[in-house]
Amino acid sequence: MDEHVLFERLHDALDIEPRPGAYERLRIALTKSPARPHRWPVLRMGGFKMDLRLAAGVTLLVLVGAIVAAYLAAHNATSGRVPAGSGQAIAAYQARVGADDTQAINTWSAPCDTTTHTGCQGDATRAIVALQQWLDDLDRSEPPARFLIVDAQLRLHIAGSISGLNSLLAASQANDASGIDRAYLLAVAGRAWTDAVVPSIVSSKQVTVAEYTNSVRAQSSSLTTCADCQVLAGQSQIDCSQNQDFCQTLLDGTDLQVASLQAALAAFAAPDSLSAKDTRLQQDLARADSALISMRASLLTGNQAGFDAGRITLRAALAAVSLDVAAI
């Protein structure tokens, strides 16, 4: 779809000005309201609110510490020195994953245009080489314990993208326009996952119990209330042969929520006291994620039975995720 056309269509469909006086109504409401903004620490507050203020203060200190640590890690990496202790393996892994991600994105900055179907073969071929290089780099060393589970999913998504790009190449050679579109969606699904999760791996830091719990609860509530996830993991029959776009929509919506929670867990690594619960949550999310990957592949090949089997796994995995979150 041409960007300019979409721009014009959207403006035609939605262009509307606020009603006269809309801003004035807002101004009057704000001026008359007794509401006041939240302020930073007010020492006269006591009890629970005081605890929250203190927690916020501690959080701020931890964040400042993490930022300083991240700066030092980056400085050490760029100056050729490596930090001592267990942070060494983590920093090295983060640097490697970040570099490979950048390389993969750079070689696939303009994925083939599925409107004109031009340049697909060259784009896909270059991207496959970069993604394979990424997989090879991951294979060369063990991931640190913190990234053990997310690393396995990263490999699956890279492999999924390679698979999608290979299908895209085949469809392109066969001049199969709809095949190119379907394969593109499989390839870009892997990229969407890495776009969401890799920055979290790169910036990952261990956080306090309160920070971890808040992060998990905030992100998991989106997953719990996600309408696409409920339909996809639900019991009602979904016939993808009759409505492939609908199935694609459900997969994309669910994928986004699962990846966002995986990203949150990577960014805000669990404190040691919660590591067992965090591992369980990551494992169940990985099960859901793997089910989504296999469902995408099934959708591409028109394998309804495979898609249905993926839904059963997804249902069980998301139910387990809910229990895991409740236990944190």
Rounded to the nearest whole angstrom, what is the least distance from the CB of residue 195 to other proteins in the complex?
4
d(CA 68, CA 52): 24
The answer for residues whose C-beta is within 8 angstroms of residue 33's C-beta and 6 or more apart is none
d(CA 53, CA 63): 15
d(CA 296, CA 310): 9
Please identify, using beta-carbon distances, which residue of 35 and 326 lies nearer to other proteins: 35
Please identify, using beta-carbon distances, which residue of 28 and 148 lies nearer to other proteins: 28
Q: Which of residues 109-128 bind other proteins (CB under 8 A)?
A: 111, 114
Q: Pick from 101, 125, 108: which is nearest to 200 by CA?
A: 101
Name the β-bridge partners of 268. Answer: 205
Q: Which of residues 24-43 bind other proteins (CB under 8 A)?
A: 25-27, 29-33, 35-40
Contacts with other proteins by CB under 8 A: the residue count is: 55
Instruction: List the structure tokens of 287.
Output: 């099960």
Rounded to the nearest whole angstrom, what is the least distance from the CB of residue 5 to other proteins in the complex?
6
Instruction: List the structure tokens of 173.
Output: 């050679």
Rounded to the nearest whole angstrom, what is the least distance from the CB of residue 84 to other proteins in the complex?
30
User: For residue 109, what is the DSSP state?
Assistant: S
Half-sphere exposure in the Cβ direction for 140 (13 Å, CA): 10
Please identify, using beta-carbon distances, which residue of 107 and 279 lies nearer to other proteins: 107
Segment lying near other proteins (by CB under 8 A), choices 59-67, 71-79, 252-260, 317-325? 252-260
Instruction: List the structure tokens of 71.
Output: 């700066």
Please identify, using beta-carbon distances, which residue of 89 and 250 lies nearer to other proteins: 250
Rounded to the nearest whole angstrom, what is the least distance from the CB of residue 20 to other proteins in the complex?
11
Please identify, using beta-carbon distances, which residue of 249 and 304 lies nearer to other proteins: 249
Contact 251, 292 (CB under 8 A): yes
d(CA 9, CA 297): 33
Please identify, using beta-carbon distances, which residue of 12 and 139 lies nearer to other proteins: 12
d(CA 75, CA 22): 50
Rounded to the nearest whole angstrom, what is the least distance from the CB of residue 319 to other proteins in the complex?
21
| C-alpha separations of 68 from 61, 65, 73, 82, 205 in Å | 11, 5, 9, 16, 12
15 is an interface residue for other proteins by CB under 8 A: yes
142 is an interface residue for other proteins by CB under 8 A: no
Rounded to the nearest whole angstrom, what is the least distance from the CB of residue 110 to other proteins in the complex?
10
140 is an interface residue for other proteins by CB under 8 A: no
d(CA 151, CA 148): 5
Rounded to the nearest whole angstrom, what is the least distance from the CB of residue 241 to other proteins in the complex?
15
Rounded to the nearest whole angstrom, what is the least distance from the CB of residue 116 to other proteins in the complex?
13
Give the footprint of other proteins on this chain (CB under 8 A). Answer: 1-3, 5-7, 9-19, 22-23, 25-27, 29-33, 35-40, 105, 111, 114, 181, 184-185, 188, 191-192, 195-196, 199, 225-228, 245, 248-249, 252-253, 256
